[in-house]
Chains A and B, each alone.
Chain A
Amino acid sequence: MKVLVVEDVAALARTVVQGLTEEGFAVDLAANGEDALHLATELEYDVIVLDRMLPKLDGLEVLTRLRAQGKTTKVLLLTALGEVRDRVEGLDAGADDYLVKPFAFAELVARVRALGRREHGHAKNAVQVGALTLDLAARRATLLGTPLELTAREYGLLELLALRPGETLSRAAITEALYADDEDKDSNVIDVFVARLRRKLTAAGVDGARLIQTRRGEGYRLEPDEDTP
């Protein structure tokens, strides 16, 4: 899942990005309101973690403008302002969740994951797509009851496709979703990941090439119905 962290305090931002990355999220960072608005408008994120007091453009203003543009990306406000009035103000401006500083990191991760899940219409961390079961919290996939041994990138790719079943994703879109903005990106690597993922799926008992289908000139998509036993 792709997350945008907007935080102006460098040390905190660095740590949150590190922690979320270690949790398997692809994380981008914006240090001020203007950059945040730009990134959130131009790129697709599953969740935005937004500080309220920001240089250049206040966090609440960023949120209001995003919503005015029709962007429905899930937003978690992360702020030192914790009074009921502040929280109501934040939620009224269009925030989906609110976390007050200082916060427990585990709670931030759980809330970000829950928002990402809801973004794709799932109420629980266990997501069933055909024969495939994903545990979003543990970042593990099971096929027909057999756990799959996947690397972080492979799991990330599978989760990306499984959360959007039947939707074709281009290599560029997949690259963008799997990598943080500042990472080295090479969309050709996606083909390699897909090939490896298919091999592991086939080994677990389904036809990997039919579960993850190639759409020539378009990209890849996951077809759960084809594999329902």
Chain B
Amino acid sequence: MQVVLTVLLLGGIWLRLGSSFAGWSEEVVDAALHARFDALTAQLEDEHGRLELDDEDDDGGPFRITDGAGAVQLARGFTAYASLDETPGYRTATLPDGRAVRALTGTIQRRHHKTFVLTVARPTRTFTALSTRFLRGILVTLGVGVVLGALGSAILAALLVAPIRRLADEVAGLEVQALHHRISSPSRDPSLTQLTASFNGLLARLDEAFSRQRTFVARASHALKTPLATVLTQAEVALHRERDAAAYRRALEEIAASARESAAVVEGLLAASRADAAAEHLSPTAVPAAQLLDEAGRLFGPTAAQAGLTLELAASPGAVIHADPDRLREIIAALLDNAIRYTPAGGEVGLRVDTLDAGARVEVWDTGLGISESERGRVQERFFRGGAAEATGQPGTGLGLAVVTALAEAHHATLALEPRAGGGTRVVLEFPGELSPPGRGS
């Protein structure tokens, strides 16, 4: 393609320059003829009816002077041009030997109004040959220029592209397993250094995301496999030998408990993935606090009573929370469940909703074991289980608060875990007043 274009371009230049040169060489010859004509006119002297040339050594080119009737008065070097007629003005003529000549014929007046006819001629070949050679020179120069330019730009491009290609190769060679690897800048060029830095930044973020994902998968598989392993082992150990009815009953009870825990882990994982997706699927409405309290009372009243706890429900009059009602229920259920689990019998747990200037504050509190200072930053991590979980041996997945955190974020609500004066924990959520349109998460 480039070759065709180059050939067309050079051909165009050839034609254009060719015609220009043709015109130009004609003009040059004509100018020379004109100058010669004028010079001769000035030099010629009329010596008593005979024309004489002032300068005997004149060698300005062939000329012929006739008396206008065919008789040659004076001529020099004109033998070859003898066949030229005396048409006035400039013209191009062909000699009998085939050569092209340019000629100028005009009349000159001398003494006594005597008129002579002067013809000067010059072969055009010299100029044509010269212009052709000139044209060829230009074209060769152009051609060589094109070739050298192409070569040069190819080399330059290769020099510029090589580091980018090295970078590309290195990036292409990266594997998910080697995200901790960092690319070294292939040259000191600032823009390449910047590009490398951008790639490395991307790698670092990918590495972090992958490592978070790996940790999550490892923890999730641990959380799923452990109760399954327990169920399996309990069943196998129970079946390993003959036992009495009471021993089988005990084994079955343990198996049921472990299976329930298995189910809770699955439920927790599903809740976590729902929470991740929540940001995109929120249908926020104004939820009346009274309704929320009523539901919480019916759902958790019996559980709290069974655990020997008092459940306190309170709300400022007319308080509403702008949130997705299902997600809000999930948040409150997870928090109340935690509160009941980690509060020893005889204590209190509570849910309180207050109206704020813009929005609403939802608080779940308890008089329980509390969260130690050192654990406060970590309890929202997935699968993290605190000292209270270990101390009480409460079954759990370590997903509850992580889910609450994700759901709160989806609602643009703030979440704070605080120690409660007099012991226990306060979990305070502040929901913004405006409904955030669905489909737009943080």
Contacts and interface: CB of A to CB of B under 8 A. Distances in A.
Interface of A: 9-12, 14-16, 18-19, 22, 53, 55, 80-81, 101-106, 108
Interface in B208-241: 218, 221-222, 224-234, 236-237, 240-241
B237 A105 contact: yes
B222 A80 contact: yes
Contacts of A15: 230, 233-234, 237, 254
A101 B233 CA distance: 10
Nearest to B254: A11
Given A80-B222, A81-B222, A12 B230 contact: yes
B241 A12 contact: no
Contacts of B227: 9
Contact of B218 (A12, A81, A102, A105): A81
Contacts of A105: 232-233, 236-237, 240
Contact of A9 (B226, B232, B237): B226
Contact of A19 (B226, B228, B240, B390): B240
Nearest to A12: B230
Interface of B: 218, 221-222, 224-234, 236-237, 240-241, 254, 257-258, 390, 393
Nearest to B218: A81
Nearest to B230: A12
Given A102-B232, A105-B237, 7 more contacts: A12-B230, A19-B236, A55-B390, A80-B221, A80-B225, A105-B233, A105-B236
A191 to B, nearest CB: 31
B242 to A, nearest CB: 11
Main secondary structure of the interface of A (DSSP, over half): helix
Contact of A11 (B222, B236, B258): B258
Given A10-B393, A11-B258, A80 B229 contact: yes
A19 B221 CA distance: 25
Contacts of A14: 254
Contacts of A19: 233, 236-237, 240
Contacts of B240: 19, 22, 105-106
Nearest to A53: B222
A135 to B, nearest CB: 18
Contacts of A18: 237
Contacts of B228: 101-102
A102 B224 CA distance: 10
Contacts of B225: 80, 101-102
A105 B238 CA distance: 10
Contacts of B233: 12, 15-16, 19, 102-103, 105, 108
Contacts of B257: 11
A103 B226 CA distance: 10
B393 A101 contact: no
A193 to B, nearest CB: 23
Nearest to A21: B237
Residue from A10, A11, A18, A22 with most neighbouring chain B CB atoms (10 Å): A11
A227 B333 CA distance: 73
Nearest to B234: A15
Given A9-B226, A15-B254, A104 B236 contact: yes
